Each structure stands twice: as structure tokens, then as C-alpha cells.
Structure 1
Amino acid sequence: MYYKRSLASGLALLLAAGSVLAAPQPPQPLRAWQRRAAAPADTLLAPPLPADAAAQPPLRRPAAERLRTLRNQHDFQYTDVTDAPASPSLWDRLLRWLWSWLGRLLDTRGGHLAWNTLWYGLMGATLVFTVLKLLQVDLTKVFGRAPRSLPLAYEAGQENIHALNFTDALAQAEATGNLRLAVRLGYLQLLKQLTDRDFIAWQPDKTNQTYVHELAASRPTARPAFAELTRQFEYAWYGELPVPAALYQQVREAQRQFGQQLSGAGRAAPVA
């Protein structure tokens, strides 16, 4: 009897619980993370910014003169590649062929030998020329070049200045109007005076510039005047320039004054 009442009580409780579960439940408030998860995607973005109400700034253009100046500058002149000539000119093709031919020629063994020979030959010739100039060698004699011979009343070869009678030779040259020869004789007389005072060492094969340098080393103050007399002599004699009478008097007077300066430096023979 007891068991029957217990079973009936249990069944009653089960039926009551089922009815409770089957009844509609009131809605529960959602938490924050549940609300974010359930919200639409577009509501998660930041709200749009309001439109800019400020007015657009005015555009400024450069001055017309400034634009013209920039257009004329080379850096701003662009050339379209489509404007270039379609094919190179005849001159460009010729140069291209020439350089190509030289490149192929120099790439050969014979080309290398010829180029080295030419290069070292030029270097050697330059070195020899420089040494000859430093030694003050007369290159006109080295290459067989000499002044053109003119008919003179006096033999003007490699004179021995110690064997010449300058007074008679000068008088004869002036009397015959051979003033170029007279300028030469006056210059040779100055060389004899310089040699007698050991200012220079005269030799028939020396150049005039050698005497200028020797005088600069022994008597520097006399060098400028002697260099000018040397220049006048070379223009008149080797340059074969005509010497008018008035010009000859000026040159001869300068030679006399220089000779007198040498006489003042020591005993010397008078200059004619």
C-alpha cells in the first residue's frame, strides 16, 4: 500500500515538472558580448565623418613670363622618342663602320703589334724632342734646315770671332748697304766682348739662346738687354727681314750702348 502511494507521488512530480518545462519562459537580458555578436556588420564600423563645409582654395597659376622662361630652358625641353629619326644618317653609319673596323683590326695580333709600335714610337719621339729642347740643341741643324742663301758681299759662315776685323767689316757692309750683314757683325762683336770677359764660352756650334742663358748665370743684370739684341739679330738675319736705314741706326746704337756697358765692367776693345 505504501509503495503504491510513493509511485503515485513520483508520477505526479514528473508530470508537474514537464508542464513547467513546456510552458513559455520570459526573455532574459543579453550581455554586452552577446549584443555585439548579434548586431549587423555595418553597425560595427565607426560613424562617417561629416562633410567638409570649408570652401575649396583657389588654384594659382605661375606668371606667363615665368612659364616662358622655363619653356626656353634646356632641362625642360623633352623630346619624344617617336620624333627621333627612324634610321641613322649616312655619316653616323660611316663612323659606326669605321670604329667597328678599327676594333676588329686592333683585336688581331698584328693590330696589337702595330698599335704598340705606333704608341711607343710617339712616346719616344716626344721624349727625344723634349730632351733636345732642354739641351737647347738647334733643331734646324738636326733636320738639315738652314736659312736660304742670299748673295752677300761678305762670307757669313761659321766665322771665327777672334779672327775678324770688325771695324773694317762693319764699314764695308754699311758702305755697300748690306745692313742685315752689318747687324750680324755687330752682334758677333758683342759675343767677342762677352767671351773676352768670360761672361760666356763662345763656340761656333752653340745657339744664341745658349749665350743668353750663360750670360744670365754670370751677369744677370745684363741679360735683358742682350736678350733683346739677340731677338733683333735673329729677326733680321734668320728671319731675312729687310732692315731699313732708320731701323738699322736704332739697332746699331743699342749694340754700341751694350758694348760700352761691357767696357765699363772691365778693360775691353772699343766698339766700332
Structure 2
Amino acid sequence: MNTKRRSLVGLLAFGLALAAGPAARAQTAPSVSAPAPAVRLRQPPAATARLDELRRQHAFDYREAPPASEEASSAWSRFWARFFEWLLSKLNWMGGYTYDGFWRWVIYGLLAAAVIFVVLKLLQVDLTRAFGRAPRRDALDYETLSENIHELDFPTQLREAEEAGNLRLAVRLGYLALLKQLSDKNLITWQPDKTNQTYLREVASQRPALRPPFAELTRQFEYVWYGELPLTPPQYTEVRAAQLALGHQLGGRAVSF
């Protein structure tokens, strides 16, 4: 009897423990609150319109404007990028057809020449100076078409050119006087239609040692006369001294006064 009573009490205690477990866990479990709704800022339409208006005003634009040179450079860069893109598209178009071999390269060359011409024009390059002899800016008071070195009075004409300040003409007369000395020494065969390079070859074949100084004087003469190189009095003095030195080296009487 006692044994049954103890068993019944034990079962009752076990049942109470099972029933109390979920309740205890429910009490000790942490509580989790639901997330709060996001806060939304509301602006009246009038305020939004006012902000947009302020953003468009230059007084409230704090970004630094690029320099004018950079803007121009950027515009040029875009122009040339589009131009070369167009040019490449044309070349690719031609390559897909019958422009092969010789004629294809002819077209390429013409296009390249056109591009170079346009670029030089945009850069305001003097094409006559870039590709040939520079045009004369003023008339020269000296006739060069019918001159004969064996008939010119070099001392008188040299003196007149120097006194007039026409140093370019003085350099030319000094060079022609050297040609006369070379002709008198039979080192060249002078002809009015011969080029200076022909005289250089003749001097080199007769007197090789004279070629370097004569070549330098020829270069100076061509720069001053044909290239219209500006000449200062000290520069003329140096050129004239070199001409006289070569004249004395030839063994004859150099033209001087």
C-alpha cells in the first residue's frame, strides 16, 4: 500500500515537472521586439522645387571651371578623334572593295597629303617656306640674270653694297668673286646655268682640300641669298672674313678694299 502511494506521488511530481518546463523556458527566453518602421523624410513640393532652382544657379555651383585652354584643347581633341574615326572608316570601306594593289596605295597617299595640307593650313604654316624656296618679300636693286663674273667690278660693287647696308648682296658678290678666282685657277668651268653643287664637285676633283671651306661658304651664301636669312653686321663680318681667307688660300689676289 505504501509502495503504491509512493509510486503515485512520484508520477505526480514527474508530471508537474514536465508541465512546468515550457512555462519556465517561456519566462527565461529573451523577448524579441518587432523592427520599427523606417523613418521617411517628407518634403513639401514647394521646398523641392526651390532646391532644384538653387542647384541651377551659378552662385551655388562650387565646382572649379576648367581653364579656357583646356576647353579648347578638349574641343580640338574631340574634333581630331572624330576626324580620324571617319578617315579610318573610309579606309576600311575602300579595303573591302576593289582598291587593292597600286591604286589603293595611291588613294592612301592622296588622303595623307590632304590631311597634312589641312593641318599645316590650320597651324598657319607658310607652305612656300616648308616645301620650297621662300618668296622674295622685296625687289632687289641688282640684276642677277645676265651677270658675268668676268665682267663685274667686284671691289666697287662690294663697297657700294656694304655702304648701302645691303649685306645680302655683299655676301653674293663675295661668293661670285670666289667663283671667278676658282675659274681663273682652272678649278671650275664657270657657266651661268651651272649649280653650286656642280662647282663643289669640280673643286673636289681638282683640289680636295679646298672642298670643306668652299662647301661651308656655299651653304652660307645659299642661306643668305636664296633663303633670305637675316644677316647682322657681325655675322657679315665673319662670313666676309671666311671668303677672304679662302681667296688667299687659292693663291691669288682676293677681292678686298
TM-score, length of structure 1 as denominator length: 0.48
Q: How does 1:121-136 map to 2 (within 5 A)?
A: none
1:256 aligned to 241, 244, 252, which one? 244
Corresponding residue for residue 136 of structure 1: none
Q: What amino acid sits opposite 1:154 in the alignment?
A: Y
- 1:149, distance to aligned residue in structure 2 (A): 5.3
Corresponding residue for residue 194 of structure 1: 182
Give aligned-pair identity as a percent: 55
1:242 and 2:242 aligned: no
Q: How does 1:1-272 map to 2 (within 5 A)?
A: 98=90, 101-106=93-98, 111=99, 115=103, 118=106, 147-148=135-136, 150-263=138-251, 268-272=252-256
- 1:152, distance to aligned residue in structure 2 (A): 2.9
Instruction: Please tell me whether the aligned partners of residues 186 and 252 of structure 1 are also in contact (alpha carbons under 8 angstroms).
Output: yes
Instruction: Please tell me whether the aligned partners of residues 229 and 254 of structure 1 are also in contact (alpha carbons under 8 angstroms).
Output: yes
Instruction: Please tell me whether the aligned partners of residues 170 and 185 of structure 1 are also in contact (alpha carbons under 8 angstroms).
Output: yes
Instruction: Please tell me whether the aligned partners of residues 133 and 227 of structure 2 are also in contact (alpha carbons under 8 angstroms).
Output: no
Q: What amino acid sits opposite 1:178 in the alignment?
A: N
Q: Secondary structure at the match of 2:218?
A: helix
Instruction: Please tell me whether the aligned partners of residues 260 and 271 of structure 1 are also in contact (alpha carbons under 8 angstroms).
Output: no
Give the whole-Å Cα distance in 2 for the aligned partners of 1:254 and 1:262: 13
Corresponding residue for residue 42 of structure 2: none
Q: Structure 1: 5+ residue runs without aligned partners?
A: 1-89, 123-139
Instruction: Please tell me whether the aligned partners of residues 179 and 248 of structure 1 are also in contact (alpha carbons under 8 angstroms).
Output: yes
Change (3 A) 1:100 1:184: closer
Give the whole-Å Cα distance in 1 for the aligned partners of 2:146 and 2:94: 52
Structure with greater contact order relative to length (CA < 8 Å, sep ≥ 6)? 2
Give the whole-Å Cα distance in 2 for the aligned partners of 1:181 and 1:94: 52
Change (3 A) 1:113 1:174: same
Instruction: Please tell me whether the aligned partners of residues 175 and 221 of structure 2 are also in contact (alpha carbons under 8 angstroms).
Output: yes
Q: Secondary structure at the match of 1:188?
A: helix
- 1:232, distance to aligned residue in structure 2 (A): 1.2
TM-score, length of structure 2 as denominator length: 0.51
Which has the larger Rg?
Answer: 1
Give the whole-Å Cα distance in 2 for the aligned partners of 1:225 and 1:97: 54
Q: What amino acid sits opposite 2:195 in the alignment?
A: T
Deviation per residue, 1:27-62 (Å, 9 max, x gap): xxxxxxxxxxxxxxxxxxxxxxxxxxxxxxxxxxxx
Deviation per residue, 1:191-225 (Å, 9 max, x gap): 11111111112222222122112211111001111
Instruction: Please tell me whether the aligned partners of residues 187 and 255 of structure 1 are also in contact (alpha carbons under 8 angstroms).
Output: yes
Q: What amino acid sits opposite 2:94 in the alignment?
A: L
Give the whole-Å Cα distance in 2 for the aligned partners of 1:162 and 1:250: 26
Tell me the C-alpha RMSD between the 2 structures: 3.6
Give the whole-Å Cα distance in 1 for the aligned partners of 2:165 and 2:227: 18
Q: Secondary structure at the match of 2:173?
A: helix
Change (3 A) 1:198 1:104: same
Instruction: Please tell me whether the aligned partners of residues 133 and 226 of structure 2 are also in contact (alpha carbons under 8 angstroms).
Output: no
Give the whole-Å Cα distance in 1 for the aligned partners of 2:133 and 2:87: 40
- 1:112, distance to aligned residue in structure 2 (A): 5.9
- 1:173, distance to aligned residue in structure 2 (A): 0.4
Instruction: Please tell me whether the aligned partners of residues 247 and 253 of structure 2 are also in contact (alpha carbons under 8 angstroms).
Output: no
Corresponding residue for residue 79 of structure 1: none
Give the whole-Å Cα distance in 2 for the aligned partners of 1:218 and 1:257: 19
Question: Which 4+ runs in 1 deviate beyond 4 A?
Answer: 93-100, 111-114, 143-147
Corresponding residue for residue 24 of structure 1: none
Give the whole-Å Cα distance in 1 for the aligned partners of 2:96 and 2:196: 51
